């Protein structure tokens, strides 16, 4: 039986091949994808975050850990997304301008896909104009923004004010999340929902969608 603590340790050490192998092994053994994600990959990244904060490790080590996380996620993504059949709604997601953190956003995106959403991922360092163009092109039900830096979270407020000024709140809902953001902050900038983590973000996306559908009926 794959030891998820060992998986977490390989992630901390940046061993991408071992992370990929153990993730695959755990899936082959029938372990729950959510357990592999939380007790293996996210648990490892949590330690990386604490060591980075405490100046025990630095950007290069964080980057190799992030690469290892992506190697594990590559195996989990198809499994998490497999249950989607017909899209239940459209969700545009991106990391805001100035911010290049994408691991959490990618997790949220893949779990939304698993829950049946069509997900349009705008990537990282996403300027307001790119969100606006995607809203125009894809007519999403929900727009999600991620920010991990205290220096970039303010961009969410700027974007939300622009969406409101353009009258878009009649037809879409906005969710925000990321390590820099809190429920209180989300409320203070006028977001419709705050996502603390991927599973709760999916639950909130579902209720935002239900609320929108009821309002349209
Ligand atoms: Co950076 N970084 N980083 N970093 N990094 C943090 C965020 C930091 C908290 C580390 C620390 O000091 N402890 C700190 C921010 C401090 C602050 O602003 N308060 C920090 C810093 C300072 C920086 C740089 C400025 C460092 C430098 O260059 N001196 C720099 C900034 C670059 C930039 O963006 N312009 C930088 C760079 C990087 C790397 C490139 C090296 C790398 C990113 C690699 C990548 O993403 N491809 C990196 C990493 C990996 C981290 C930490 C260690 C881990 C982030 C992560 O992936 N966590 C992070 C420390 C930490 O957060 N503990 C840190 C795992 C991920 C699953 O969690 O992203 O929180 P998270 O996502 C969660 C939830 O937040 C939520 O669901 C996800 C799943 O549960 N969620 C949403 C996220 N987005 C959501 C959207 C939603 C809903 C929920 O709706 C739309």
Per-residue pLDDT reduced to its tens digit, 185-217: 999 999 999 999 877 898 899 999 999 999 888
Q: Residue 133: CB within 6 Å of ligand 1?
A: no
Task: Check whether residue 196 and residue 179 sit in a common domain.
Answer: yes
- Pick from 82, 113, 128: which residue ends a domain? 82
Q: For ligand 1, atom 6, which residue shows the shortest CA distance?
A: 148
Indicate whether 132 and 185 sit together in one domain: yes
Structural domains of the chain, count: 2
pLDDT in tens, 71-127: 998 998 888 766 444 578 999 999 999 999 998 898 788 768 756 688 999 999 999
* Tokens found for residue 132: 């606006």
Say what the pLDDT of residue 107 is. 79
**pTM, two decimal places:** 0.84
The pLDDT assigned to 116 comes to 67
Same domain, 104 and 135: yes
Whether residues 38 and 10 share a domain: the answer is yes
Of 8, 49, 92, which is best to mutate to test ligand 1, by the most ligand atoms within 8 angstroms of its C-beta? 49
What is the percent of the chain where pLDDT is above 70?
A: 95
Q: Where residue 197 sits, what CATH number does that domain have?
A: 3.40.50.280
For range 33-41, the mean pLDDT: 89
Q: Are 192 and 136 part of one and the same domain?
A: yes
Query: Residue 48 pLDDT > 90, yes or no?
Result: no
How many Å apart are CA 118 and CA 193, to the nearest integer? 19
CB 69, CB 106: distance < 8 Å: no
What pLDDT score does 85 carry?
A: 44
CB 114 within 8 A of CB 143: no
Q: Is the CB of 44 under 6 A from ligand 1?
A: no
Q: 173 CA to middle of ligand 1, Å?
A: 24
Among 54, 82, 110, residue at a domain's last position: 82
Distance CA 3, CA 8 (A): 9
Q: In terms of residue numbers, what domain contains 31?
A: 4-82
What pLDDT, on the 0 to 100 scale, is given for residue 7?
97
Residue 192: the pLDDT is 97
Residues 35 and 102 in one domain: no
Instruction: Decide which of 60, 82, 104 is a domain's last residue.
Output: 82
For position 71, which CATH number holds?
A: 1.10.1240.10
Please tell me the predicted confidence (pLDDT) of residue 84. 45
Same domain, yes or no: 113 and 188: yes
How far is residue 21's CA from residue 146's CA, in Å, rounded to a whole number?
29
CA neighbor of 210 nearest in space, from 110, 88, 108, 120: 88
| 28 & 48 share domain | yes
Does 194 lie in the same domain as 128? yes
What percent of the chain stands above pLDDT 90? Answer: 67
């Amino acid at each position: 039986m794959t030891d998820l603590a060992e998986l977490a340790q390989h992630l901390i050490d940046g061993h991408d091949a071992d992370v990929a192998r153990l993730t695959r092994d755990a899936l082959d053994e029938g372990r729950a994808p959510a357990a592999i994600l939380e007790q293996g990959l996210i648990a490892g990244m949590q330690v990386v975050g604490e060591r980075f904060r405490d100046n025990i490790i630095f950007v290069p080590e964080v980057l190799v850990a992030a690469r290892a996380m992506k190697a594990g996620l590559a195996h989990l993504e198809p499994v998490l997304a497999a249950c989607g059949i017909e899209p239940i709604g459209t969700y545009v997601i991106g990391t805001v301008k100035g911010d290049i953190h994408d691991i959490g956003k990618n997790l949220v995106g893949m779990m939304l896909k698993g829950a049946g959403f069509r997900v349009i991922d705008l990537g990282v360092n996403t300027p307001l104009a790119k969100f606006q163009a995607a809203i125009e092109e894809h007519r999403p039900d929900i727009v999600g923004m991620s920010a991990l830096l205290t220096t970039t979270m303010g961009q969410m407020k700027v974007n939300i004010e622009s969406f409101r000024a353009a009258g878009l709140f009649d037809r879409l809902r906005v969710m925000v999340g990321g390590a820099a953001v809190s429920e209180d902050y989300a409320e203070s900038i006028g977001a419709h929902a705050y996502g603390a983590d991927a599973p709760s973000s999916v639950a909130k996306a579902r209720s935002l969608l239900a609320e929108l559908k009821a309002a349209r009926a």
